[in-house]
Amino acid sequence: MAGPGATRTDDAAPSPAARLFFKPCEFIGSAPRAAALPKAELPEIAFVGRSNVGKSSLLNALVNRRGLARVSRTPGRTQAVNLFRLGDALMLADLPGYGFARVAKAQQDAWGRVAVDYLRNRATLRRVLVLIDARRGVGERDQVAMALCDDAAIPFQVVLTKCDQLKKTELEGVIAAVRDAASAHATGLDEVAATSVRTGAGLAALRDSLGKLAATPALR
């Protein structure tokens, strides 16, 4: 687990599952609700998290496309579900960020409606990645997102971002804490991905884990 100044850790040859993330990835569409999205046909993975947690940056890094998902310096800018096709095997969904104080309360409440609509109605959704800033730990809105996954019976995995900004011992404590938080939920997975877009830490392992979902059968 990388600390400040760590070198890139994803330079090894990708595993067979991870190779999917080196195939072409393209933007498919954007919609304020699940019903307006293109028809669900491929296994799908959703990215959720606080505004400015690094969802778009992580998605771009995973697929090796710096400008694919728009990265904004203004938290709360994304207000719709953005959908991307990875090869002909997997869909990636970037959901609006939540919990930024400067975003109007109506927009914060709208996140819940968008998320509930999406989680309950996207039949091909295989996993939700709940992104958490390693420097912040689990917040109240993160717990709400986890509970929504429980209600929708969709497995979720915690992905820590910006891990290069913590010392090794600090990061180990954060990983233990978020693992405990996830395990309190029926759909929480034990595996916590500790990542850094800057150093590449954790990206190869995450690609491998997610790539294996491309061939999974329908959950519902």
pLDDT at residue 77 in the model: 47
Q: Which domain holds residue 99?
A: 18-215
Mean pLDDT of the chain: 84
* Contacts of 164-167 spanning 24+ positions with Cβ under 8 A: 164/2, 164/3, 164/4, 164/5, 164/6, 164/196, 164/198, 164/199, 164/201, 165/4, 165/134, 165/135, 166/3, 166/134, 166/135, 167/3, 167/4
Read off the pLDDT band of 110 (50, 70, 90).
low
Half-sphere exposure of 196 (CA within 13 A, CB side): 23
Whether pLDDT at 73 is above 60? no
Judged by average pLDDT, the poorest of 63-72, 146-155, 180-189 is: 63-72
pLDDT at residue 104 in the model: 47
pLDDT at residue 72 in the model: 41
* Residue 92 domain-assigned (yes or no): yes
* Residue 12 domain-assigned (yes or no): no
What is the domain count for the chain?
Answer: 1
Q: How far does CA 94 lie from the centroid of its chain?
A: 7
Whether pLDDT at 214 is above 70? yes
Whether pLDDT at 220 is above 80? no
Judged by average pLDDT, the poorest of 14-23, 75-84, 193-202 is: 75-84
Per DSSP, the three-state class of 133 is strand
Averaged pLDDT, 126-148: 94
Whether pLDDT at 157 is above 70? yes
* Residue 148 domain-assigned (yes or no): yes
**Pick the residue with more confidence: 167 or 77?**
167
Whether pLDDT at 62 is above 90? yes
Q: Which of 181, 140, 177, 133 is nearest to 159 (CA)?
A: 133
Torsion of CA 58, 177, 182, 48, to 10 degrees: -30
* Residue 10 domain-assigned (yes or no): no
What would the pLDDT profile of 9-55 be if each residue is shown by its tens digit? Answer: 455 678 989 999 999 999 998 888 778 888 888 999 999 999 889 99
What would the pLDDT profile of 160-188 be if each residue is shown by its tens digit? Answer: 999 999 999 999 999 999 999 999 999 99
Distance CA 217, CA 220 (A): 9
* Residue 75 domain-assigned (yes or no): yes
* Residue 11 domain-assigned (yes or no): no
Averaged pLDDT, 109-119: 74
Distance CA 127, CA 20 (A): 16
| Sign for the pseudo-dihedral over CA of 143, 149, 154, 159 | negative
Whether pLDDT at 217 is above 80? no
* Residue 36 domain-assigned (yes or no): yes
Beta-ladder partners of 30: 82
Contact 18, 211 (CB under 8 A): yes
pLDDT at residue 193 in the model: 98
| pTM of the predicted model as reported, rounded to 2 decimal places | 0.86
CATH of the domain at 59: 3.40.50.300
pLDDT at residue 52 in the model: 87
Residue 19: is it exposed, middle or buried by C-beta count within 10 angstroms (0-12/13-18/19+)?
middle
What six digits make up the tokens of 180? 């405990």
